[in-house]
Chain A
Amino acid sequence: NAGVTQTPKFRVLKTGQSMTLLCAQDMNHEYMYWYRQDPGMGLRLIHYSVGEGTTAKGEVPDGYNVSRLKKQNFLLGLESAAPSQTSVYFCANSYGALGKGGQPQHFGDGTRLSIL
């Protein structure tokens, strides 16, 4: 039971290149999230999804796009990578809304992305 799996684990890009980060879950949870974690800062929400076919913006959505075509997968895309997007990206899921009761949130182990 892998839970939440992120691929790739590491990636180096050049400025202007594009790429897609994949998040896969085997927990059948409705809600999925993409965060970025930068040194000295708390995790910040990029985009999230409340179910298959839905996406919504979080705190820092600029420069990113997402898709949730299948319930088990949540993709994060960088259209034109910039050095400011160098970060560790975490995917997470939850059974229900985090603001409605004690829903646990499960995280993947992250993708370390460097933009040169």
Chain B
Amino acid sequence: KNQVEQSPQSLIILEGKNCTLQCNYTVSPFSNLRWYKQDTGRGPVSLTIMTFSENTKSNGRYTATLDADTKQSSLHITASQLSDSASYICVVSSSGGSYIPTFGRGTSLIVHP
């Protein structure tokens, strides 16, 4: 069964600090991995999309890494801001023809001033 596990479940950091969120998956065959940011009361917004051949992808202060061998991804947030407070969701899609990507449960990040 395809699964996506995210850790930690929740995280509290001080403004200006860096943090790293983890995503482990068992989806096979692998097609791509996405990181989304979901603000409270809003829909998810795409941060990065990584395919098999990509190891690192950045979007401003957000940097995602992918290790397809160990089936792990991380999302690193640099110099956190109060606006980074949100849920971060990892989503993995299979290349097996399915239109059903597997969503992680998300990491809730709170940035305190």
- Chain B contact residues, CB within 8 Å of chain A: 4, 31-32, 34, 41-46, 49-51, 89, 93-106
Among A41, A43, A56, A101, contact of B99 (Cβ-Cβ < 8 Å)? A56
Is the CB–CB distance between B49 and A45 below 8 Å? no
Task: Give me 14 other A-B pairs in contact (C-beta within 8 A), A4-B43, A97-B99, A109-B41 excluded.
Answer: A33-B99, A40-B105, A48-B100, A50-B99, A58-B99, A59-B100, A90-B43, A92-B43, A98-B31, A101-B51, A102-B50, A107-B45, A108-B43, A110-B42
Shortest Cβ distance from residue A90 to the other chain B in the assembled complex, whole angstroms: 5
Q: A43-B103, A58-B100, A97-B99 are in contact. Are A102 and B43 (CB under 8 A)?
A: no
Is the CB–CB distance between B45 and A102 below 8 Å? no
Is the CB–CB distance between B106 and A107 below 8 Å? no
Closest CB pairs A-B (n = 9): A107-B43, A42-B103, A102-B49, A43-B103, A99-B93, A98-B93, A99-B31, A109-B43, A42-B105
Total A-B contacts with CB atoms under 8 angstroms apart? 70
- Chain A contact residues, CB within 8 Å of chain B: 4, 31, 33, 40-45, 48, 50, 56, 58-59, 90, 92, 97-110
